[in-house]
Amino acid sequence: MDGHEGAVSAAALAVPRRRGRPRSPEAEKAILAAALDLFAERGPDALGIEQVAARAGVGKATIYRRWRGKEDMLLDAVGSLGSRLPVPQGRSVRADLMAILDWLCREAADPRRARLFALLQGEGARYPRLLARYRESVVEPRQELVALVLRRGVATGELREDTDIDAAALLLNGAVFASMSGQAHADARDARRLVEELMRGLASR
């Protein structure tokens, strides 16, 4: 073997081999959707990797290539609930809050989402990582979106300077999340009533 061949062989050995098949975004999406469906139907304890694989139409090995176990898979599934939020148009605080609350109410009316919310609240002590991920991915971004509109309202003079932004955002979002735990879900009329009552107390005089 001459020096050139030795250099080529060494270079070839230095290149890491790719192991396994490339990940499929479609497969991962199907797995997360199946995990959420089964979570809502059975709760976390009765959910198993084998059932998720069957529902998603993949092999168990496909799941284990991505996640070490059930809870890690569920963490990503719960994180996927953080859907794209509506963009405030900036016309007025009232109009933006109406649009956001209407969107939140329609989202809350999804039976699977409501069931997941109830299960996560009930299992929060046993699965604190799942509850924390839900708050991080779903609850907090929605509260921050409402707070953003309220802060802009204070800056433009539409709302009182002493408005408690955090409390107001918590009230609006809390009303929607509370409806997800009950029998009746908030709708567009409830959204309008919530916003009108909030504006009655916070609007500049």
Range of 197's domain? 93-202
Q: In this structure, are 179 and 97 located in the same domain?
A: yes
Higher pLDDT, 201 or 64: 64
In a domain, 10, yes or no: no
Checking if the pLDDT of 137 tops 60, the result is yes
Whole-number percent of the chain with pLDDT over 90: 47
Contact criterion met (CB below 8 Å) for 195 and 98: yes
Domain end among 36, 57, 79: 79
Q: In this structure, are 169 and 133 located in the same domain?
A: yes
Give the Cα separation of 85 and 104 in Å (integer).
9
The mean-pLDDT minimum among 74-78, 154-158, 176-180 falls in 176-180
Contact criterion met (CB below 8 Å) for 108 and 186: yes
CA dihedral 48→52→57→61, nearest 10 degrees, is -60
pLDDT class of 159 with cuts at 50, 70, 90:
very high
Q: In this structure, are 195 and 99 located in the same domain?
A: yes
Question: How high is the pLDDT of residue 74?
Answer: 95
In a domain, 27, yes or no: yes
Give the Cα separation of 199 and 205 in Å (integer).
11
Using CB atoms within 10 Å of the CB of residue 153, give its burial: 0 to 12 exposed, 13 to 18 middle, 19+ buried.
Answer: buried
In a domain, 11, yes or no: no
pLDDT class of 200 with cuts at 50, 70, 90:
confident
The predicted-structure confidence for 39-54, as pLDDT tens digits, reads as follows 999 998 889 999 999 9
Q: In this structure, are 144 and 195 located in the same domain?
A: yes
Checking if the pLDDT of 11 tops 80, the result is no
Question: How high is the pLDDT of residue 180?
Answer: 67
Place of tokens 């694989």: 53
Checking if the pLDDT of 122 tops 90, the result is no
Most confident of 45-59, 94-108, 113-127, 165-179: 45-59
In a domain, 84, yes or no: no
Most confident of 62-76, 79-93, 108-122: 62-76
The whole-angstrom distance between residue 189's C-alpha and the CA centroid of its chain comes to 25
First vs last Cα of the chain: how many Å apart?
90
Checking if the pLDDT of 82 tops 90, the result is no
Q: How many domains does the chain have?
A: 2
Domain of residue 43, CATH code: 1.10.10.60
Higher pLDDT, 203 or 36: 36
Give the DSSP letter of residue 58: S
Q: In this structure, are 183 and 113 located in the same domain?
A: yes
Neighbouring C-beta atoms of residue 26, cutoff 10 Å: 9
Mean pLDDT for the chain?
Answer: 83
Structural tokens at position 63: 């799941």
In a domain, 7, yes or no: no
Give the Cα separation of 114 and 134 in Å (integer).
13
Taking the model in full, what pTM does it have?
0.78
Q: In this structure, are 61 and 120 located in the same domain?
A: no
Cα–Cα distances in angstroms (integers) from residue 12 to residues 2, 16, 17, 18, in the given order: 16, 9, 10, 13
